[in-house]
C-alpha cells in the first residue's frame, strides 16, 4: 500500500512540476542597514518576474552578467521598487554598485518551465530516486559533451540551500548524490546546469 501511495504521489508531483506558472519573486535589500540581498540566489522560470524592493538611492542596482539574448538592467538609482521579466534561460548576476566589495551581490538561475535542452550542449536527466527521499537521493544524467556541471537545491521559497556539485565533468553517464539528511521535510527543486543547458525538477523530502 505504501508503495502504491508513493507511486501515485510521484506521478502527481511530475504533473505539477510540468505545469508551473510564471510567478513574481521579491528580493529585499538594505533592511535594517544590512548590506545583503534577501534571498541572494533564486531558481526561477522564464516568464517569471523578479522585483527588488529597497532604497536604490543608497543601493544602486545593476546587472553584472546576463545570458546571451537577455536584456541587462541598471544602474537603477532612484525609487524603491524595480521589476524585471526573465526572458532567457541561464544565470543572471547583479550587484549594488556602492557596496559590492562588501558582498552585496546576488544571482538567479532561470530555466524554462519543466525542461530546457539547448542544442549546443545536450544532456538528459532521469527522475530523481527515491522521491520522496529521507536520507539521500540520486540524480542520474548523461552529457553529450564535456561541461562544467552545477547541481543546486532550492527550497519552496526559492532560496539556495545546497550545492552538491560544482565541477567539470566528461561526456557520458554520471550519478550525483543529494544529502537529504541535511534538509528539513518539505518540497524542493533541484536545478542541474551543464554549460548553457539547464534542467529543473521537483523533489520531496519526507522524514
List pLDDT tens digits, range 45-74: 887 889 999 999 999 999 999 988 788 999
Q: Of 55, 89, 111, at which residue does a domain stop?
A: 111
Looking at residue 113, what is its pLDDT?
A: 57
Q: Does 8 have pLDDT greater than 70?
A: no
For residue 29, the domain's CATH number is 2.60.40.420
Higher pLDDT, 183 or 8: 183
**Count of structural domains within the chain:** 2
Averaged pLDDT, 165-191: 92
Distances (CA, A) of 134 to 6, 64, 94, 100, 194: 13, 38, 35, 38, 27
Q: Is residue 95 part of a domain?
A: yes
Q: Is residue 15 part of a domain?
A: no
Averaged pLDDT, 119-146: 86
pLDDT band at 154 (very low <50, low <70, confident <90, very high): confident
Q: Does 15 have pLDDT greater than 80?
A: no
Q: Does 169 have pLDDT greater than 70?
A: yes
Averaged pLDDT, 158-162: 81
Q: Of 54, 86, 111, at which residue does a domain stop?
A: 111
Q: What is the mean pLDDT of the chain?
A: 83
What is the dihedral sign for C-alpha 124, 127, 129, 133? Answer: positive
Tell me, yes or no, whether 83 and 127 share the same domain: no
Rounded to whole angstroms, the Cα distance separating 205 from 188 reads 8
Tell me, yes or no, whether 30 and 67 share the same domain: yes
pLDDT band at 120 (very low <50, low <70, confident <90, very high): very low
Tell me, yes or no, whether 140 and 96 share the same domain: no
**Residue 23: closest CA among 9, 6, 43, 38:** 43
Q: Does 12 have pLDDT greater than 50?
A: no
Q: Is residue 122 part of a domain?
A: yes
Tell me, yes or no, whether 76 and 29 share the same domain: yes
Tell me, yes or no, whether 121 and 196 share the same domain: yes
Neighbours of 73 (CB within 10 A): 17
DSSP strands (E only) in the chain: 24-29, 37-38, 41-45, 49-53, 61-65, 81-85, 90-96, 105-111, 115-116, 123-125, 137-143, 147-155, 160-169, 172-178, 186-194, 197-205
Tell me, yes or no, whether 90 and 106 share the same domain: yes
Rounded to whole angstroms, the Cα distance separating 169 from 140 reads 13
Averaged pLDDT, 6-19: 38
Q: Is residue 9 part of a domain?
A: no
Tell me, yes or no, whether 70 and 123 share the same domain: no
Higher pLDDT, 144 or 157: 144
Tell me, yes or no, whether 121 and 99 share the same domain: no
Q: Does 183 have pLDDT greater than 60?
A: yes
Domain that holds residue 89: 24-111
Looking at residue 39, what is its pLDDT?
A: 93
What's the chain's length in residues? 207
Q: Does 180 have pLDDT greater than 90?
A: yes
Tell me, yes or no, whether 75 and 93 share the same domain: yes
Q: Of 54, 82, 111, at which residue does a domain stop?
A: 111
Instruction: For 81-112, write each residue's pLDDT tens digit.
Output: 999 888 777 899 999 999 999 999 999 988 76
Q: Is residue 136 part of a domain?
A: yes
Neighbours of 199 (CB within 10 A): 21
C-alpha cell at position 178? 543529494
Q: Is residue 184 part of a domain?
A: yes
Q: Is residue 8 part of a domain?
A: no
Tell me, yes or no, whether 62 and 126 share the same domain: no
For residue 177, the domain's CATH number is 2.60.40.2550
Rounded to whole angstroms, the Cα distance separating 55 from 38 reads 14
Q: Is residue 16 part of a domain?
A: no
Amino acid at each position: 500500500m505504501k508503495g502504491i501511495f508513493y507511486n501515485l504521489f510521484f506521478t502527481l508531483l511530475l504533473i505539477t512540476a510540468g505545469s508551473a506558472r510564471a510567478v513574481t519573486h521579491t528580493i529585499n535589500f538594505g533592511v535594517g542597514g544590512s548590506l545583503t540581498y534577501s534571498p541572494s540566489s533564486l531558481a526561477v522560470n522564464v516568464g517569471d518576474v523578479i522585483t527588488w524592493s529597497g532604497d536604490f538611492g543608497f543601493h544602486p542596482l545593476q546587472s553584472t552578467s546576463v545570458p546571451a539574448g537577455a536584456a541587462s538592467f541598471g544602474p537603477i538609482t532612484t525609487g524603491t521598487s524595480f521589476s524585471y521579466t526573465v526572458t532567457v534561460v541561464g544565470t543572471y548576476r547583479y550587484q549594488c554598485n556602492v557596496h559590492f566589495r562588501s558582498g552585496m551581490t546576488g544571482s538567479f538561475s532561470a530555466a524554462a518551465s519543466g525542461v530546457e535542452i539547448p542544442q549546443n550542449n545536450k544532456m538528459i536527466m532521469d527522475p530523481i530516486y527515491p522521491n520522496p527521499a529521507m536520507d539521500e537521493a540520486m540524480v542520474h544524467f548523461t552529457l553529450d559533451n564535456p561541461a562544467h556541471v552545477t547541481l543546486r537545491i532550492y527550497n519552496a521559497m526559492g532560496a539556495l540551500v545546497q550545492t552538491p556539485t560544482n565541477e567539470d565533468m566528461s561526456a557520458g553517464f554520471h550519478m550525483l548524490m543529494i544529502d537529504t539528511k541535511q534538509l528539513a521535510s518539505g518540497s524542493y527543486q533541484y536545478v542541474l546546469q551543464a554549460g548553457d543547458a539547464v534542467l529543473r525538477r521537483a523533489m520531496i523530502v519526507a522524514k
